[in-house]
Structure 1
């Protein structure tokens, strides 16, 4: 394995999945201090990776642009083939999709990834010549670290993950975030949106949480729908502020300065875990083993049963979770 000097990691999306894979970087560098690591990612998520001292180069690609313009596929293939000139000793597809497998194969000849029984898009495994086996319904973080460590012939244990160093980094953040931090109160981040509406805890219940805790609650948002909810919350509580729209670099900085994050199962919520900031993740139709529960990172789950292989987007059980459960957890994390 000493011959692996140049490693390419392909993990294109989404934000939470990228974060869950990034935890492996600090351990790869401990085992192979001289290894050069490049990461290939969808352009919209590249800032999550930026300023990480363990990554040598971040290469943004834009496969999503192909949906709008089919001819764009030729530009993307040309771009990726050009990166193959970097002469990678090993390419690891940590995504397990056909598109990420194709990207990986275009980058190099030695490609590792999940075996066919460990991913949904089974044919992706045909592109790999080193295959990693771990059940699809295992913990998401464990899956990510295994596909990144096993091809390098070492193991990242659960204990190591629990003892991780924070691994999101920021630089030149938007200074406006500091206007929203309160020196006299606890600063709580609310993450109110996600990719599906059924994953969203009701804004009315976030309101009750803020009014009960009476601390400085700041809502972060990305979409227009989330913006509408954020400013509704602000207008209905003296304890809530809606942050202006900020980039991912500044979001990392803001979460790192907070005392607690309460949010849905979505990328920005997982930033708290990565930064070793206390958090409560609220789950409805998605499995709780997407994350690690720790002494400071808690989960609250609805009563519905989740099928890992077929998530139900019409499962709105998250709306039934009693906000008093979240308030109790928050008080425990904030005040001990």
Structure 2
């Protein structure tokens, strides 16, 4: 059976959907899985364990003719198409591939109009945990069910295929990787310096940063007692995580990636729901600030910086508990 999974972006969203692959493999023995993503996220998609083919579309670069030609060549090749994104853009990509499309209904999709392009529509509360939403839609499309205990027992979702030539790769003490950045300022915790100062009493802290602006901010943060890592690609970040005892961060792709790999995490949430956007386990902890208003997953209040109300001492205590476990 040839299956197309549509999850175009972004990093965290692709990570949230990644666990579905091993469930599909478990229930569909002859599955051939193609993953459609935006070209800007091709690297993380190519690290997905269990995916047979990655199809990268340069949509964010507005290369629509090239994207159309890529889709035209894939048209009619799939038995089932599953749109896990729920956007008009992803629905149009799905429809260009064929007609047997499964997606969320108009009350369940991020953009309700996307549902008019689906042949089969699944109803699921939009506020429900995103991991469960993705798995339920795949189960609906492929006629399988699952138990949440199976998520706890999942295998790592991504491949590790490079090594970091770094003298810091193995240090005989507890190591904490801190991911202090996110795609939006209201998701970024402002008191990581205090967390680092407290955590360095029992662990060595490392900082990961991407863009040049992030690296400038991280360099200032490093003065609190952390080591700023050299620029790493996603495969190298996976390898470095493998040497760490804990990853602490905002609601961002890096922290979710650590969850997907079964590493211990503490994820901080403010104006978004941690219960919806992360899957808690005994070693994957969520700290939720109290938002100014009731959280509406469809309409996020990006002026609410309540994440900064989280007490650094709470993070430090939970970090020590996980490191000592």
Question: TM-score category by the smaller chain?
Answer: over 0.9
How far residue 25 of structure 1 moved from its aligned partner, in angstroms, is: 1.0
Match of 1:164 among 154, 177, 180: 154
SS in 1 for 2:167: helix
Q: TM-score, normalised by structure 1?
A: 0.92
Query: Equivalent residue for 1:78?
Result: 69
Q: CA deviation at 1:147?
A: 1.4
d(CA) in 2 for partners of 1:53 and 1:260? 22
Q: 1:292 aligns with which of 279, 294, 298?
A: 279
- Picking from 27, 30, 34, the partner of 1:38 is 34
**Normalising to structure 2: TM-score of the pair?**
0.95
Match of 1:144 in 2: 134
Matching of residue 222 in structure 1 with residue 210 in structure 2:
yes
Q: Kindly indicate whether the alpha-carbon contact (under 8 Å) linking 1:262 and 1:279 is maintained by their aligned counterparts in 2.
A: yes
Q: Of the candidates 315, 319, 333, which is equivalent to residue 308 of structure 2?
A: 319
Q: 1:69 maps to what in 2?
A: none
**Structure 2 residue ranges without an equivalent (≥5):** none
SS at match of 2:16: helix
* Segment of structure 1 superposing worse, 287-296 or 49-58: 49-58
Q: Quick one: which of 2, 7, 11 aligns to 2:3?
A: 7
Matched, 1:330 2:319: yes
Distance 1:256 1:184, change over 3 A: closer
Would the aligned equivalents of 2:179 and 2:250 in 1 still touch at CA under 8 Å?
yes
For 1:197, the equivalent position in structure 2 comes to 185
1:20 pairs, out of 16, 26, 38, with 16
1:124 aligns with 2:111: no
Please tell me whether the aligned partners of residues 47 and 235 of structure 2 are also in contact (alpha carbons under 8 angstroms): no
The structure that is helix-richer by fraction is 1
Match of 2:25 among 25, 29, 54: 29
Alpha-carbon contact 1:180-1:218 (below 8 Å) kept? no
Bigger Cα displacement from structure 2, 50-59 vs 178-187: 178-187
- The answer as to 2:145 corresponding to 1:155 is yes
1:207 partnered with 2:207: no
Instruction: String of CA shifts for 1:239-286, please: whole Å, max 9, x gaps.
Output: 311112211121122222211000000111101111111000011111
**Aligned partners of 1:301 and 1:318 also within 8 Å:** yes
Aligned position for 2:60: 64
Q: Which SS does the other structure have where 1:221 is aligned?
A: coil
Pair 1:271 & 2:257 matched: yes
Report what 1:233 is aligned to.
221
For 2:47 and 2:13, locate their aligned partners in 1 and report how far apart those are by CA, in whole Å. 18
Give secondary structure in 2 for the equivalent of 1:169: coil
Q: Which runs of 5+ in 1 are unaligned?
A: 67-71
The answer on whether the counterparts of 2:162 and 2:239 sit within 8 Å (CA) in structure 1 is no
Distance 1:233 1:309, change over 3 A: same
The Cα RMSD (Å) is 1.4
Using the alignment, how far apart are the partners of 1:301 and 1:125 within structure 2? 32
Cα displacement (A) at 1:182: 4.4
Give distance in 2, aligned partners of 1:123 and 1:92: 16
In 2: Cα distance, 1:141 partner to 1:152 partner: 17
Query: What's the offset of the Cα at 1:307?
Result: 1.7
| Counterpart for residue 84 of structure 2 | 94
The structure-2 alpha-carbon separation of the partners of 1:130 and 1:293, relative to structure 1 and needing over 3 Å to count, comes to: same
Contact in 2 for aligned 1:255/1:271 (Cα 8 Å): no
